[in-house]
Structure 1
Amino acid sequence: MEAMVDGIGLVVVEALRAAGYKESTIGQYQKSIRVLALLAQKEGGLYTPRLGAEFASMTTSPRTGRFSAQRRFDYSRLATLFDSYAATGQVSLAMSSRGGRVIVPQSADFVALWETWSADMERRGLAAATRAAYGRAAGEYLLFLEASGIASFQAADGTTVFRFLESLRGRWAQSAMWTVVTNFRPFLTFVHRQDLLDALKMAQTRRRHQLVPLLGEREEQLVVQACTHNEVSARDAAITLLALVTGLRACDIIALRLKDIDWRSSTLAIVQQKTGNPLTLPLLAVIIGKLANYILNDRPDSDLKNVFLRSLAPHLAFSDHASIYSITQRTFRAAGLPNTKAATRMLRHHAATKLLRAGTPLPTISAILGHSSPDSTNVYLSEDTDQMRACVLPMPAGAGR
């Protein structure tokens, strides 16, 4: 796990970007990170909670020489994010009250409704990440109603949906608003409020598919070489190769258990965290070798069932995709590719596109990636330019005249 300010800063920025924060907001965080990095020079660039506390106390503006409320918020917030990563290995973006407790609605009606919704999701066996996302969307809407002076859910009308979404645009990037709507819709369905669902539909928040950059052949070779020539630890090599070759999601790499690996058949069998569907994948010999090396020689002694653990005490399992990003980014730096954003989403797209270019049928790719629907694989068609060109019909003679 990263302990240097620059390394943790990369993880924080990736977590903010993955959560849909605006680039302008991320830019403000990056400015604060640069100031923290300057302060950390006296510690050799190492981050500690003590350094974070000192940083958060720097509330005087050097320009005016007076107290700056914005500076206090920015620096205190950044120190909180760094502290959460230093303590748990994950970046917690939860906004807390002064007492450190996550803010929840206060009215009895809203509290009861939110708890009923949470219990229903658990009863239906939704994945933990899904429950968290749906619960957060419902909770933020109820908080918005409460802040608007509405104390009863029956008093909410369609205009509150429009105003709620508008209130989020200052914090969420436009491209991420589809995710907000997707996480919010199940709650409105649960409470049987068709008028609110109609308002959500009228908001016309559309999904945007962004092109994901792929690795070139030379770049892929450099990454594999870094993993196989011991330029990174066996753990980091195994994690990077799993993402690069199999396209496993970060959440599935985190949840991978020792008993999920069949050493004799060189396969792993998991239940996907996102879809709940079973998935069995073959493993290349190099991945099996790195996994065995890590488990036998490097993995800390622990009763935890997870394969991958934090290398620094406490030796807990990873609990956030930002930790996996930190590891893949470190591998790419070792491979001489420091400017490549090696998120598992990009590596997943790379694995899918490689399979597509090799002539693998889409249903097979869908099964390997663990998609709940074969239609989810169609997005990778846009990445294969050669295959798309082959589908273009020739222009009839004289049509261009």
Structure 2
Amino acid sequence: KGLRQATLHKYAYTLRPFESYLAQTGITLSALTPASITDFINVRAEALHKSGMLGTTGALRVFLAYLHREGIIANDLTRSIPRGRVYRQTSIPRAISWPDVERLLASVDCRSDLGKRDYAILTLLASYGLRAREIAALCLDDLDWEHDQISVPMRKGGHSTRYPLSAIVGEAMIAYLRVRRTDIADRQVFLAARSPYSPMTHTGVSCMVSGRMRRIGIQVARAGSHTLRHACVQRLVEADLPFKIIGDYVGHRHPASTLVYGKVAVHKLREMVIAQGEDVL
């Protein structure tokens, strides 16, 4: 179908638990029934968030349609999968406090090569609110040392962003690049710590962050790289920056993605309500 590699990875990631479920229950593909599919969905619902369930059911629906089209199953079972909905702005962003961000940064032992790499990643996440995919895709050519800038060319919205290279981020990047392996042909900045030293994946970036949070006792739902992205946005909101500027800074595609942070900023909520009231009057 000409799907992007990221889409194929997502399908594989969400369907592996289904493969394990079939192996554990001894059910073959040709013997699938609506009851067995419902049982699998109920099992997954115990471990996944609403958005995760939406991805799982979507991938499962595509897979079942393929099985029916290829004649592997006799009946079209896609209708046995419920179509859930995830409404925007129904939850509060899972940010941590800025003191916790500072505590996380301070916990990294920068004397080791691994510590230097992780500290550089954490400063990028906290300072610019980058996504894990953007960290993983960052290349050496994206660092403009002459003009003290860093480019993020592969943003979710399809655009690119250039940031001024702050002192703390610049120093962290230099410390890591001094110990980064030079015998690797890949141009990605961040490499895995073990042979064959391939470029880090977005999953690896997020797992590193969640692991370091867990080790120092930071409790937050679904901890990962996005936790620091939320913390970055929340800090900008608390600094009274306009939502439009904040959205542009972190690369939000839709204004609503930024406005959700108003839920935890009472003074911003008050400003929005007053502004809307003035528009009505």
TM-score scaled to structure 1, two decimals?
0.51
Structure 1 residues 73-118: Cα deviation after superposition (integer angstroms, max 9, x where no partner): xxxxxxxxxxxxxxxxxxxxxxxxxxxxxxxxxxxxxxxxxxxxxx
Report the secondary structure of 2:30's partner residue: coil
2:120 corresponds to which of 238, 243, 247: 238
1:164 corresponds to which of 33, 37, 41: 37
1:358 corresponds to which of 226, 236, 239: 239
CA contact (8 A) 2:209 2:225 kept: no
Report the secondary structure of 1:306's partner residue: coil
CA contact (8 A) 1:257 1:307 kept: yes
Residue 253 of structure 1 and its aligned partner are, at CA, apart by 1.1
CA contact (8 A) 2:64 2:77 kept: yes
CA contact (8 A) 1:243 1:347 kept: yes
CA contact (8 A) 1:241 1:287 kept: yes
CA contact (8 A) 2:14 2:55 kept: no
Report the secondary structure of 2:2's partner residue: helix
Residue 234 of structure 1 and its aligned partner are, at CA, apart by 2.3
Residue 166 of structure 1 and its aligned partner are, at CA, apart by 4.4
Name the % identity: 24
Q: Give the equivalent residue in structure 1 for 2:72.
A: none
Partner amino acid for 2:166? L
Report the secondary structure of 2:151's partner residue: strand
Structure 1 residues 270-298: Cα deviation after superposition (integer angstroms, max 9, x where no partner): 3436x361321313121012112211x21
2:278 matches 1:372? no
Structure 1 residues 293-346: Cα deviation after superposition (integer angstroms, max 9, x where no partner): 211x2112222211111233332222252454325643785xxx4334552121
2:86 matches 1:177? no
2:137 corresponds to which of 239, 252, 255: 255
The size of the alignment, in residue pairs, is 251
Q: Which runs of 5+ in 2 are unaligned?
A: 70-75, 275-281
Residue 383 of structure 1 and its aligned partner are, at CA, apart by 2.9
Between the aligned partners of 2:66 and 2:153, the Cα distance in structure 1 is 26
CA contact (8 A) 1:277 1:370 kept: no
Q: Give the equivalent residue in structure 2 for 1:132.
A: 9
Change (3 A) 1:369 1:188: farther
Between the aligned partners of 2:239 and 2:204, the Cα distance in structure 1 is 31
Between the aligned partners of 1:354 and 1:243, the Cα distance in structure 2 is 13
Partner amino acid for 1:147? T
Q: Give the equivalent residue in structure 2 for 1:121.
A: 2
**1:302-321 residue pairs with structure 2 within 5 A?**
302-321=184-203
CA RMSD of aligned residues (A): 3.9
2:162 matches 1:281? yes
Between the aligned partners of 1:132 and 1:308, the Cα distance in structure 2 is 20
The ranges of structure 1 where at least 4 consecutive aligned residues each deviate by more than 4 angstroms after the TM superposition are: 135-141, 182-191, 195-200, 224-227, 229-232, 389-393
Partner amino acid for 2:8? R
Report the secondary structure of 1:313's partner residue: coil
2:95 matches 1:214? yes
Structure 1 residues 228-271: Cα deviation after superposition (integer angstroms, max 9, x where no partner): x9477321211011111111111221221111111222222234
Change (3 A) 1:359 1:197: farther
TM-score scaled to structure 2, two decimals?
0.69
Q: Give the equivalent residue in structure 2 for 1:49.
A: none
CA contact (8 A) 1:121 1:131 kept: no
Between the aligned partners of 2:66 and 2:166, the Cα distance in structure 1 is 44
Partner amino acid for 1:180? T
**1:15-94 residue pairs with structure 2 within 5 A?**
none
Report the secondary structure of 2:174's partner residue: helix
Higher alpha-carbon Rg = 1
Change (3 A) 1:249 1:339: same
